Amino acid sequence: MPEIAEVARIVHYLKKHLVGRTILSVRAEEDDLLFGKVGTSASAFKTAMTGKKVLDARQQGKYFWLIMESRPHPLMHLGMTGWIKFSTDDTSAYYKPKKEETDWPPRFSKFVLDLKGDPKCEVAFVDPRRLGRCRLIDVEANEMRKTSPLKENGPDPVIDKDIFTVKWLTALLRRKKVPVKALLLDQANISGIGNWVADETMYQAKLHPEQYSNTFSDEQIKRLHDAIVYVCGTAVDTLAESDKFPKDWLMRYRWDKGKKNGGKLPNGAKITFLTVGGRTSAVVPSVQKKTAAFAGDVSESAEEEGEGETEVKPKKSAKRKPKAKEDVEPVEAATAANRPKREWKQVDYEVKDESEEGEEETPAPKKQKTGITPKKATQKKAAPKKTNGVVEEILEQEPGEQAETKEAPAASKPKKSVGAASKKGKRTESEEDMSARRRSGRNVR
C-alpha cells in the first residue's frame, strides 16, 4: 500500500509533468467507488477539471491534491493499489513495471487528463482494486488542510515538524493503551505511516510493536520519535526507492520471507512475523525486546530464538467445555443416536369390591420414572376406567400414534390372569393384554 514515501514520489512527478499546464480534456467513466463513495461523480469531475490550469501539487501523509487556478480542488487517496501514471514517463513507478503495464492508456484507468501544449502528455489514475478515492473540495487552496478528511488526520512527520515533537508524541502515547504499532498505523494519530514504515520505525527504535503505548519510558519515546522522523524523512528524500535505503534497514530484507536465504539480516539475526493491529509485522526479537505489558504473542519462530518471552496469548479461543451430564436437559440429551431404551414395568390395577364400595372408579396408575422427559403427546393418556367390572386400558402412545384400547366383551367375564390374583382383587397382566402390547409394538416384560 502506498505510504508517505510513495505518495511523495507521486507528488514529485505531478510537479514535474502536470503543474503549470492546462487540462485540455478529461476522460472518466462513472465509478461508484472512486467518485461515488466520497460524494462526487465522473461528470462533476470532468466539469471541474476541464480547461483549468494546475498551480501546485501537495501532500499530507497518504493524501495528495492538486491546487487548481479556481476551486474546487481534487483530493485523492491511492487506497491499496492506486497509482498515477504518465504517458511520457514510465519511471514514476517505484518498482520496475511489467511490459503490459507500459501500454497506453493503461489498464484499470479510472480517469485520464489530456494536457494542453507540448510536449504531448496524458496523466492517468489507475487502481486495479478500486480502493482509491477522488473527491472535489470546494474551498480556497489555503483551507484544504482545515477541511475534512484532512483535518481529522494527525500531523505529517515530514512537513509538520513544528507539531510533531517529542512532547506531543509523549502525550499521545500516554493517553492511550494500545499496541504501539496499532497506534502508529492509525492515521488519526499520525499521517502517512503504513505497514512497512511502522516496522522500520520500531526496528530502528529497538522497540517491540506489541508493547502497550502507555508503558514506554521517556528515553524510549525519544528513540521512537527520532526513528519516525529519520525513517519517514529518508524514505521521502529517496522517493521510496528501496535500492537507495540504508543497508542496515529492515525494509531491504523483510520481503525475503520464504526464500532460500530469507528471514535473516546480513548479521544473521532472525526476522520473525506476527500480526499486530491487523497487519503482518516483521520483528527482530534479538533487537526488539518487550520491556513492559504487551498484547498478543511472539510467533513460534521467535520463541525458538530464545528471547525469554514466555507469555503467550492463544491465537484461537479455547474450546467451550461441554456441559456435565447432570446439567443437560433430559429431552436435549435423548437424541435419536443416544436415546436409552425405555424400561416398561408391569402395572397392576387395584379393583375394589363393588359390593362394598359401590360404583367408585379404579384409580389411575402411578407414572413410572424412566429418566426421560417425553415430549407432549397429541392425545393425553386417560386413566383406566371400569366398565361392568372390567378394566378398560388405554395404552401409552408416542406423539402421533393413535391410542389403542383393549376392552373385554361385556357379556363374558375376563379371563384369569396367568398369575394368581391377590385376595384383595389385584389383577396381573393377562395373556390377552400381553398380545395387545405386542400388536402395539411395546416391550413385554
> In Å, what is the CA distance from 3 to each residue of 8, 9, 209?
9, 10, 18
**Domain locations in the chain as residue ranges:** 4-146, 166-283
Backbone angles phi, psi at 115, to 5 degrees: -90, 145
Q: Is 6 exposed, middle or buried (0-12, 13-18, 19+ CB in 10 A)?
A: buried
- Tell me if 201 sits within 8 A of 224, measured CB to CB: yes
Asked if residue 313 has pLDDT above 50, the reply is no
Backbone angles phi, psi at 262, to 5 degrees: -80, 170
Report residue 264's pLDDT band, with 50, 70 and 90 as the boundaries.
confident
Burial state string for 403-431 with b = 16 or more CB within 10 A and e = fewer than 16: ebebebeeeeeeeebeeeeeeeeebbbbe
Asked if residue 284 has pLDDT above 90, the reply is yes
Average pLDDT over residues 380-388: 49
Asked if residue 234 has pLDDT above 80, the reply is yes
To 5 degrees, how large is the angle CA 198–CA 199–CA 205?
90
Q: How far apart are CA 57 and CA 14, in angstroms?
A: 7
Asked if residue 262 has pLDDT above 80, the reply is no
Q: How far apart are CA 45 and CA 30, in angstroms?
A: 10
DSSP string spanning 225-275?
A: HHHHHHHHHHHHHTTT-GGGS-TT-GGGTGGGTTSTT-SB-TT-PBPEEEE
| Prior bond of 157 cis (ω within 30°) | no
More reliable by pLDDT, 393 or 60: 60
More reliable by pLDDT, 274 or 372: 274
* Tens of pLDDT, residues 68-81: 999 999 999 999 99
Report residue 91's pLDDT band, with 50, 70 and 90 as the boundaries.
confident
pTM for this one?
Answer: 0.66
- Express as a percent the part of the chain with pLDDT over 90: 56
Asked if residue 146 has pLDDT above 60, the reply is yes
- Tell me if 185 sits within 8 A of 195, measured CB to CB: yes
Q: How far apart are CA 237 and CA 64, in angstroms?
A: 17
Sequence-distant (≥ 6) Cβ neighbours of residue 195 within 8 angstroms = 1, 3, 185, 279, 280, 281
Average pLDDT over residues 377-397: 47
* Tens of pLDDT, residues 362-371: 445 555 554 4
Report residue 277's pLDDT band, with 50, 70 and 90 as the boundaries.
confident
Tell me the pLDDT of the chain averaged across its residues: 78
Q: List the single range of 136-140, 175-179, 206-210, 402-406 with lowest mean pLDDT.
A: 402-406
Sequence-distant (≥ 6) Cβ neighbours of residue 61 within 8 angstroms = 4, 7, 153, 154, 156, 187, 190, 191, 192, 193
Asked if residue 227 has pLDDT above 90, the reply is yes
Name the helix (H) or strand (E) containing 406.
strand 405-406
For the domain bounded by 4-146, which CATH number is listed? 3.20.190.10
For the domain bounded by 166-283, which CATH number is listed? 1.10.8.50
Q: How far apart are CA 241 and CA 94, in angstroms?
A: 6
> In Å, what is the CA distance from 30 to each residue of 34, 44, 48, 95?
9, 10, 15, 29
Q: How far apart are CA 260 and CA 136, in angstroms?
A: 48
Say what the pLDDT of residue 127 is: 94
More reliable by pLDDT, 431 or 419: 431
The shares of helix, strand and coil residues in the chain, as percent rounded to the nearest 5, are: 30, 20, 55
DSSP string spanning 128-184?
A: TT---EEEEE-S-GGGGGGSTTGGGS---TTT-TTTS-HHHHHHHHHT--SBHHHHH
Helices 195-205/218-237 angle, 10° precision: 130
